Amino acid sequence: MSVTPTNSKYGINYLGNKNTTEVHRLANEKPQCQIDEILTAGNAVKFIPDTLEEAHNNGYDNCAYCIGGSRR
């Protein structure tokens, strides 16, 4: 189980922003998520396994736009 840098949003379900420690669900991506900006800034991470639970276990919080239910 781990968090690892990624430079692509393809082939994964969840993408994290290591700068804000927020996790996004790509199947429900919204413009407000700024996924491309996260990738361009080099802040994108993926989770192994690629699940919301794994993101939470690593301290990532739900994006308000594509997941909702922020815990912060």
Q: Which is nearer to Zn ion, 5 or 22 (CB)?
A: 22
- Provide the residue type at 64 as one letter: A
Q: According to CB under 5 A, which one of 17, 24, 45, 60 is a site residue for Zn ion?
A: 24
Contact indicator for 46, 7 with CB cutoff of 8 Å: no
Contact indicator for 16, 23 with CB cutoff of 8 Å: yes
In whole angstroms, the minimum distance from the beta carbon of 35 to Zn ion comes to: 7
Q: Would you count residue 33 as binding Zn ion (CB under 5 A)?
A: yes
Contact residues toward Zn ion (CB under 5 A) are 24, 33, 63, 65-66
